[in-house]
Structure 1
């Protein structure tokens, strides 16, 4: 028990430092780095399976709570663009996984999960359940997140200036009624969200569904929201779950995994190039066919977090609730459906 507490404290301390330094995904990455350092220097890093389960349940609850009834209703106004966005990301996920598997040292399930445009906190936990190489998934998902937050907005802004898109206005004004509508945080709403996610996550675990704890907790929390029952969780609980997740992941990363990180340079370049091509092609389709403003269309195809996108979009002159709705829907699909498809495809290799 002493080792578990020490591991959590070290992970939290480094996570807090990374968070204050505004490192993308800082809480999770910091917890991973702190735990790996503790493991390599003292061999005392230890975190029980319960930590992973709670982290998965919390992640699922947060994903479910981030979707409101208005978000779901807003999709009917942008259903065809949403279908193109999701189909584009899924096709990219499968093709990119296939390329990484055949042209790099990554095994099939690791290659596919490295290509999932999901959450930094969610995909590494899923990798555990699907027996992928967690260290490689963490590194390449971190690259995706950093590129999505740091490079894509600058690139899209530059592309927008070249195409002189300053005066474009989104035709999806009907979707502007979407977004928002999140439930107010109360003790009852928090208890309902976490209690439902915990029960459903445990059911998923007992049914031996791959990443079942995460998947079922998402489904349970979404069902709660759709039934009109308030469900919300405090932001600090998400940070706590990220530290749990990071420390559990860090305990599994040894010296051999760290030595293999330089080998991930080529996969990282392939992933960045593939996401750029996907954003350009799918963004043009959304722009030309559905008359979505060019910068907004490309931001819809940017592999970053929904909350990050809301802030980034405003910085480059795009103010569209439909963009946030689309990113939330992408996050939901990438955390729940994409990994299940990847798992089935990996069985074919």
Structure 2
């Protein structure tokens, strides 16, 4: 079977080596005589897999000892509610920076819980850039400051993070976690749906500073960080297959050379496509301003709607998958997460150049 050149935004490409290993272990995991999907989540075999995933993430991201790693369900979308329910106390305000649709959704849910404020936004400019950290009008007594580190729909990414002092910095890193080295100690909470850089859909990683985990019996148990922390994320039956695949992806990341090596490759992948856009004499136009460009999601348009339709038709016929832009803004988008090989990005760049030449030639002939 020929593997697709997968540029889906999520669920997204998984490393081939991970899929092959899972295939080899599909019927017999840890010599148990069972598939991982058949294991009891209380068994020694699964406990080993579960703890390995947590410890490997701590190692790769250099997570300090005063942080807890939780493996939860509900996607990043559930965290939009869990975060304010757990740390937005009465009399406090939660500050939000709006940089795209997902930060808007996070704010919408927080408003249902308590007082919020928008302290910086690029909405008026169709989210083409990330606000400067110096433009954030943060309340020094805020419960937390929330950002979305990478914006899949608009193709923007934070290049530096705000210094928040005693205010916890909370970041939705669903689409760029593990793609570059970060200082975890700068954050109060980092959360990420796994289906872009960490594994399949169904599992959400939450990295939370331990002092932010407090007992509150008014919060429903499934939404309470304290409950999940005390039970090592095994309060209820977890998504065992997703956790197993998460552990394999983290092993793969280590084998590639860790976050530093992945970041280097990601820069090369992004450069190949952005260079093609920049050297196209305006045939391709990137949505994001150059200093806010994402290394995970490259968003762009073509001169006309007709040209875009033809491009998307031909690129699909050539074996490239998932290049349609988000339905809310249209255009084109190449999601180039960790598991997307550099070779696929180089092939896409070559296709884009070839398409421009052939389409422009046809336009000239028509005239």
TM over 0.5: no
Structure with the larger helix share: 1
Structure with the larger strand share: 2
Q: State the TM-score bracket (shorter-chain normalisation).
A: under 0.3
TM-score (norm 2): 0.23
TM-score (norm 1): 0.24
